[in-house]
Amino acid sequence: MTRAFQATDRAVFRISGADHRRFLQDLVTNSLDGLGQGAVYAALLTPQGKYLADFFLIGDGDGVLLDADAAQAPDLVQRLGMYKLRAQVAIAPADLSVVQGWDGGHVPAGALADPRDPALGWRLYTDAPGAALEALEPADPADWHALRVALAVPQAGVELIPNDSFILEAGFDRLHGVDFRKGCYVGQEVTARMRHKTELRKGLVRVELAGDPPPPGTPIETAEGKSAGTLYSVAGGFGLAHLRFDRATGPLTAAGVPVLWPGAADASDA
């Protein structure tokens, strides 16, 4: 039976107006052309190519729904408002809740596949979340957290840090969150340069923890005590870590706990 829960950490807004589509197309990392096939995952960047916020965009008649992390929503809406200038665009809260479900089985009418990875299931935007959940098996959000870690999917405010993270290091190309064929958007030049002209030296990977997991934010060190990265989300003996690949070629630890990463063996054999 499909497992599902109401994602109370999300906020939904509606963007409308005569210029809304061009307005978004010129700002975000992904193309709105995909709205005809379902939800689109995208981000807003700084002009220097650093992450500000990530979100889902969903076609909604003559407008677009924007599903964002609730903690980031006020700053995101304010930032979008700064870009409006004279564009005919309106941004307003939508009286909708987000229900997330996975594990196959029943999929409610109107639910959209999560565009990041098929294993992440679907997302439903509804004004009656209780009714939607009646036909589904209630799930603990912690189960979703564990699935996210298993699939190496970053979370806003944890692995995705505003004004610091680069989306390619966080795996946005793997998660279908960036379109390299669309026209310009804010931060596009830096993002394209990272993809075409350099090999990523750092990135987000899933690691295995051989012991009790230390708290998120714990530094990861080499056997020589050099900084090799940072451990973030943990669940079920696994974690998400942002690593410096040139240093993550041998034994690693986080607060004394061994950190196992298959890429370490690959790098040492290269």
| Domain range list for the chain | 3-150, 201-269
Task: Output the pTM of the full model.
Answer: 0.94
> Would you write out the chain's pLDDT as a tens digit for each of its 270 residues?
789 999 999 999 999 999 999 999 999 999 999 998 999 999 999 999 999 999 999 999 999 999 999 999 999 999 999 999 999 999 999 999 999 999 878 899 999 999 999 999 999 999 999 999 998 999 999 999 999 999 999 999 999 999 999 999 999 999 999 999 988 999 999 999 998 876 889 999 999 999 999 999 999 999 999 999 999 999 999 999 999 999 999 999 999 999 998 876 544 444
- CATH architecture, domain defined by 3-150: 2-Layer Sandwich (3.30)
- CATH architecture, domain defined by 201-269: Beta Barrel (2.40)
- Domain 3-150 and domain 201-269 have a common topology: no
Query: Residues 165-191, buried b or exposed e (16+ Cβ, 10 A)?
Result: bbbbbbbbeebbbbbeebeebbbbebb
| 3-class state of residue 80 by DSSP | helix
Taking the C-alpha atoms of residue 149 and residue 145, their distance in angstroms, rounded to an integer, is 6
Rg, C-alpha atoms of the chain: 19
